[in-house]
Amino acid sequence: MAYIAMARKWRPNSFQDMVGQEHIAKTLQNAIEGGRLHHAFLFTGTRGVGKTTSARILARTLNCMGSNPLSPCGVCASCKDISGGNPMDVLEIDAASNTGVDNIRELLERVQYAPMIGKYKVFIIDEVHMLSNGAFNALLKTLEEPPSHVIFIFATTEVNKVPQTILSRVQRFDFKRLTTNQIIDRLKYICDQEKITTDVEALGIFAEKADGSMRDALTYFDQAYAFTGNDLTANSVRSILGIPPNELYFMLIHAFAVHDIKECFEMVDKACSIGVEFSPLLDGFGKFLRNLLYSRLDSVTAEELNITPELFGQLKKTASELSNGDLLRLSKILTELQSKLHHTSNPRLLVETTFARMAWLDHMTDLRRALAAINDYPDASNEALKKKVTEVTTSLDSVQNTPSTASWESSSTPQYSRYEISSAWNTICRQLSDDHDLLFTAALSGTSLLTPDLKATPFPVTIQFKTEDKNENNWSYKQFLTNTEFQERLVRILEDYLQTTVELKVAQRLLSESEIQIEAKKKRTPYEKDLEDEKIFTILNQLFDTELVFSRKIPKNFSKTECDSNYCD
């Protein structure tokens, strides 16, 4: 016997069979019972949720000659005609391939003829938003005054593209996406009927991948069933559909939580060994992070997230290892990674290094929780400290209502992990130069950052100045030694970027002979070369032992009154 696709075989035949759209079935049945039937309907909703199926059920119900006005009998002449290939009283067109005004005129010519078997002539127009403006206009007149034997049913996935003139003349029904549990229940019912052995976890995979569409769920089901036959397990379903198992993501999140780079690499290795591609791996991780974030909210249920209660429980437990801020930062880095993935010749290296970067991120601490910890500290007898804590907590309360947002807010500064702060230092210095504090940023120029122990807290960071002689002659270095305010400011900046406490050291390093030669060879801008040739510059150099730290063009209309106090008195 030829195999009939499940999606076709188990297509609902009556309103009773419709899954997830009970609100629509009820309203339509009430209208039929009360004799208050509209002549034009618009069924809107995402793909695969039963819009055209419902249109056919409605056509069948209205025309059935059986005794139950709410459920087609399936055996009368009309029911048989409609379930056959080319029904006489139901005309179905796909607007996606019949967009023009002529297609609609052709259809409307048939409106005047009475139905052949049943009571109504039913016109179903699928993807109605695809019609041209001319086609919509041609429809309008008939839609205003249709013959009493005519019913129009429009279906669309994009109701916003349907003109208002049409919308105001139809009765609109919004189809819901199906929940995971609704899809699972329906698949379970079909498996029972078909005597197929499976488990809820396997069915849950179809349901999650289908993302609210019953038709897609059945298509995936068919695909897996064709490979595995009568024995559908979660693992076989995952491997057939190329879906990374959730354990991989739990493994990854754990690696991030404990800063374990090795575990990140093992996760990538595992994903590759079972044949998971990077793109679905990252898509799945995005979905996983989203579910983690949502699982932290008390008001969210497993059903709302379209996941099984078991998975929801696991997510809730795992989410407690990280803060909202951590999860948001991970999501941000993941989005960047996804956009870069298609442009790299070595996706594995990109994924691995990005995961390593994620693993080295310091955890963000909720400021409110930190303050509460100070309050709970046994020696917190200092009244002034207590007063300060209360003050800050109160001001936090007035700004943010939810406890977790304090850390969400602080995630607006771009952040780096301890692992990458040294390599990001030049970029940070460039960003700081926009602060208009020329002395501070000039003092930072030419520095580098050393990070000896990546795991120590507070995080030890050394800002290093290179110099050519032993006499501590470096201007920038001297600035930093004399201005403790500079040091404090730098600590604040680094702590902002790193989201952790920082211990700063200021150091000078003597350049070797070869380094000095390299430095000398470093190219200056043409403007700076000119400046070095200037006689006045040479004289200044001799008199004050100066060096060119930076140069800036002075605008033509520059006047002393506008001058920054860092330049002039």
Binding site for Zn ion (CB under 5 A): 64, 66, 72-73, 76, 79
Nearer to Zn ion, 45 or 72 (CB): 72
Nearest approach in angstroms of CB 58 to Zn ion is: 13
Other CB atoms within 10 A of residue 12 CB: 18
Q: Based on the number of CB atoms within 10 Å of its own CB, is 498 exposed (0-12), middle (13-18) or buried (19 or more)?
A: buried
Nearer to Zn ion, 78 or 499 (CB): 78
Nearest approach in angstroms of CB 167 to Zn ion is: 32
Nearer to Zn ion, 69 or 452 (CB): 69
Nearer to Zn ion, 47 or 80 (CB): 80
Nearer to Zn ion, 13 or 467 (CB): 13
Other CB atoms within 10 A of residue 477 CB: 22
The alpha helices in 471-550, defined as continuous H runs, are 475-482, 484-498, 513-521, 526-533, 535-544
Nearest approach in angstroms of CB 18 to Zn ion is: 17
Instruction: Confirm if 437 and 482 have CB atoms less than 8 A apart.
Output: no
166 torsion bin: left (phi>0), alpha (psi -120 to 50), beta (else): alpha
Handedness of CA 329, 332, 338, 344 (dihedral sign): negative
Nearest approach in angstroms of CB 79 to Zn ion is: 3
Nearer to Zn ion, 16 or 482 (CB): 16
DSSP 302: T
Nearer to Zn ion, 151 or 268 (CB): 151
Could you give the angle at the alpha carbon of 562 between the alpha carbons of 558 and 566, nearest 5°? 100
Nearer to Zn ion, 79 or 293 (CB): 79
Nearest approach in angstroms of CB 73 to Zn ion is: 4
Q: Which position has the token pair 């609100």? A: 23
Distances (CA, A) of 507 to 32, 448, 476, 487: 86, 10, 11, 12
Nearest approach in angstroms of CB 197 to Zn ion is: 36
Q: Give dist(CA 5, CA 434) in Å, integer.
A: 64
Q: Which long-range contacts (CB under 8 A, 24 or more apart) does 526-529 make?
A: 527/551, 527/553
Nearest approach in angstroms of CB 126 to Zn ion is: 23
Nearer to Zn ion, 79 or 389 (CB): 79
Residue 326 identity: D
CA atoms within 13 A on the CB side of 379: 0
Distances (CA, A) of 177 to 22, 106, 213, 269: 12, 34, 6, 36
Q: Which position has the token pair 């956009």? A: 339
Q: Give dist(CA 279, CA 334) in Å, integer.
A: 11
